[in-house]
Amino acid sequence: MTRFPTAGHLASWAGMCPGQHESAGKAKHGTARRGDTWLGKVLATSAMSAAQSKDTYLATQYRRIAAHRGKRRARKAVGHSILVAAWHILSDANATFTELGSDYFDRRRRPETVARRKLAELSALGWDVTVDSDGAAIIRPPAA
């Protein structure tokens, strides 16, 4: 792996970096560069397999990106994550893969923010949600 000084160099060579086109401080459409087609196909297949797994960081990352940006971009982003992890594992003899878990994105946020979002999701589903002055939530199922 000494041919690529950083994981970014490897991802750029493989064509797995997101495209970036900016003009006058405004982000425009960006298309990824052409890279190694064989490696791209393998990473895309690996990304789809990882997306179908349960309770993993890569599956959660795929679902979050696919919901807003589409399946193709999510596949490329997860493939990029797999490639970067592979570079780190291969370049460092003592490196091991550590699964971050499906709740990684929730753990990065403040608990109050996560609680507010979850309560808003329940309200959107029709549940009656009220919060006491103590901060305790009272949740009633939707009236049928």
pLDDT tens digits, 19-28: 777 788 887 7
Evaluate whether 82 touches 43 at the Cβ level (below 8 Å). Answer: yes
Whole-prediction pTM = 0.74
* pLDDT tens by residue, 61-82: 999 999 998 999 899 999 999 9
Collapsed DSSP state (helix, strand, coil) of residue 105: helix
pLDDT digit string, tens, across residues 103-128 = 888 788 888 888 888 888 888 888 88
What pLDDT is stored for residue 27 in this prediction? 76
Domain ranges of the chain: 7-91, 109-140
- The answer to whether residues 79 and 47 touch, using CB atoms and an 8 Å cutoff, is yes
| Confidence label for 94 from pLDDT (cuts 50, 70 and 90) | confident
